[in-house]
């Protein structure tokens, strides 16, 4: 009986022990399975992933790959790694997921994308500022080159350079509008360089208009002509080439100023036939022509004795081409008023102005032609550049 009870007791104890062990094991397994879920490590960081994606897209929209390529490459790689880690955890059974490393990777990727965005914006703004400066300079230089082109007849070399400058400037503005700031700055600098060469060449050609001794001589010629008009009580004409002006004096006072077109290479003094420059010197009207190729005209006594003497002196010195001739047929005539220098050496007024002048002066009227008075466009150009003497192409 005692043996039976003992056996029964042992059987019950064994089953209780088994139940205890099983229950403990089951509870342990449940704890192992439930704790990761309860601790939150299995929660997918949806919002962190979305923030990373949005940060990357914002960097892409700002063209960070263009303005900060290295930073953007690093950001793209960081995002790919973070998303791969996210996917690796996502495919596991729920209790075995652990997104803690994923969260850190997403934070790093977001920071990398934001860094690329910030660096790209800084670089883009810096490139834009550089392009703004380059375009501003190019606009000024091109405008100055255009002013030069209007003021004097440019040779083929300078005309080609000025055209290149204008084309490069147009391309620079187009690139700027597309946001291609470095390329815009580069083309703007090319435009400036071409325009600056034209301005320097023009300034060299115009340097004589800022030469103190020459300007003084011209001013003295003007003063002497005005004094003659005052003392004689008769009209006299003064032509200022760089000012594109013909002044009519009477009794030593200006009674009328007319706009005048000159020879298309009048930045220079006339030296020979065919050089298209308006001569500088003291002349007289030798004939009034009521009918002329250019409406009406006053013939001048060019070349005078001084012109002939200078021509022979330069020819002996080898400063003129072989076979050069002195030329003649310099007039003050009509068909002017074009706003540019176009004649072969004559002074051209509008038809209304030549009619007015025709009524006021006659044969024998003195005509003094000078480069300028030191205040014209050529003198200003030469002073601004600080140029020495030279010639244009």
* 233 located within any domain: yes
Q: Give 170's contacts (C-beta < 8 A, 6+ positions apart).
A: none
In this prediction, residue 290 carries a pLDDT of: 92
Q: Residues near 157 by Cβ (< 8 Å), separated by ≥ 6?
A: 393
DSSP 152: S
DSSP 113-143: HHHHHHHHHHHHHHHHHHHHHHHHHHHHHHH
pLDDT per residue as tens digits for the range 164-185: 999 999 999 999 999 999 999 9
Kindly report, residue by residue over 338-356, the tens digit of the pLDDT: 888 899 999 999 999 999 9
Q: Last residue of some domain: 153, 184, 209?
A: 209
240: domain CATH number? 2.40.440.10
Same domain, 153 and 225: no
On whether both 99 and 227 belong to a single domain, the answer is no
* Domain extent for 78: 40-209
Q: Do 222 and 357 lie in a common domain?
A: yes
Looking at the 3D structure of the chain, how many domains does it have? 2
If asked whether residues 151 and 290 sit together in one domain, one would say no
Binned at pLDDT 50, 70 and 90, residue 390 comes out as: very low
| Domain-located, residue 19 | no
- Please classify residue 81 by burial: count the beta carbons closer than 10 Å to its beta carbon, then call 0-12 exposed, 13-18 middle and 19+ buried: middle
Q: Is residue 187 part of a domain?
A: yes
In this prediction, residue 32 carries a pLDDT of: 46
Is residue 22 included in any domain, yes or no?
A: no
Per the listing, tokens 């994606």 go with 53
Q: Are 375 and 232 members of one domain?
A: yes
In terms of domains, do 153 and 72 share one? Answer: yes
For residues 216 and 356, membership in a common domain is answered with yes
Q: Which residue has the higher pLDDT, 216 or 25?
A: 216
Beta strands in the chain (DSSP E): 235-240, 245-250, 253-259, 281-292, 295-300, 331-333, 347-348, 366-370
* Domain match, 264 and 146 both: no
Helices (H) and strands (E) in the chain, counts: 11, 8
pLDDT per position as a tens digit, 130-151: 999 999 999 999 988 887 776 6
Q: Is residue 376 part of a domain?
A: yes
Give CA–CA dist 288/363, Å, rounded.
Answer: 7
List pLDDT tens digits, range 10-60.
666 666 666 565 555 554 444 444 545 555 678 889 999 999 999 999 999
Residues 183 and 264 grouped into a single domain: no
Whether residue 173 sits in one domain with residue 75: yes
């Amino acid at each position: 009986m005692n043996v039976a009870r003992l056996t029964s007791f042992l059987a019950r104890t064994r089953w209780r022990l088994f139940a205890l062990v099983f229950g403990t094991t089951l509870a342990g397994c449940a704890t192992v399975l439930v704790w990761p879920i309860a601790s939150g490590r299995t929660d997918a960081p949806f919002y962190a992933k979305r923030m990373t994606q949005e940060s990357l897209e914002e960097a892409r929209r700002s063209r960070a790959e263009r303005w900060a390529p290295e930073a953007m490459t690093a950001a793209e790689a960081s995002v790919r790694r973070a998303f791969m880690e996210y996917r690796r955890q996502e495919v596991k059974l729920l209790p075995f997921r652990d997104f803690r490393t994923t969260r850190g990777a997403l934070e790093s990727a977001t920071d990398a994308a934001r860094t690329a965005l910030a660096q790209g914006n800084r670089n883009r703004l810096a490139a834009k500022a550089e392009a703004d400066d380059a375009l501003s300079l190019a606009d000024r230089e091109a405008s100055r080159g255009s002013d030069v082109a209007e003021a004097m007849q440019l040779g083929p070399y300078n005309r080609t350079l000025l055209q290149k400058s204008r084309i490069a400037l147009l391309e620079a503005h187009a690139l700027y509008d597309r946001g291609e700031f470095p390329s815009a700055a580069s083309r703007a600098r090319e435009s400036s360089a071409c325009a600056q060469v034209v301005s320097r060449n023009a300034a060299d050609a115009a340097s004589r208009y800022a030469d103190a001794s020459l300007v003084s001589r011209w001013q003295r010629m003007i003063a002497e002509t005005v004094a003659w008009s005052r003392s004689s009580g008769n009209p006299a004409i003064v032509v200022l080439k760089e000012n594109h002006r013909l002044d009519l004096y009477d009794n030593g006072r200006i009674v009328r100023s007319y706009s005048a077109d000159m020879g298309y290479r009048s930045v220079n003094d006339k030296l020979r036939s065919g050089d298209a420059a308006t001569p500088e010197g003291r002349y007289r009207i030798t004939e009034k022509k009521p009918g002329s190729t250019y409406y009406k005209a006053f013939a001048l006594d060019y070349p005078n004795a001084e012109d002939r003497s200078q021509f022979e002196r330069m020819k002996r010195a080898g400063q003129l081409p072989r076979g050069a001739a002195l030329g003649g047929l310099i007039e003050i005539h009509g068909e002017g008023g074009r706003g540019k220098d176009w004649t072969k050496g004559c002074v051209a007024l509008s038809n209304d102005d030549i009619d007015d002048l025709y009524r006021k002066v006659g044969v024998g009227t003195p005509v003094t032609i000078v480069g300028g008075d030191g205040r014209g466009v050529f003198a200003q150009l030469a002073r601004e550049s600080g140029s020495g003497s030279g010639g244009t192409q």
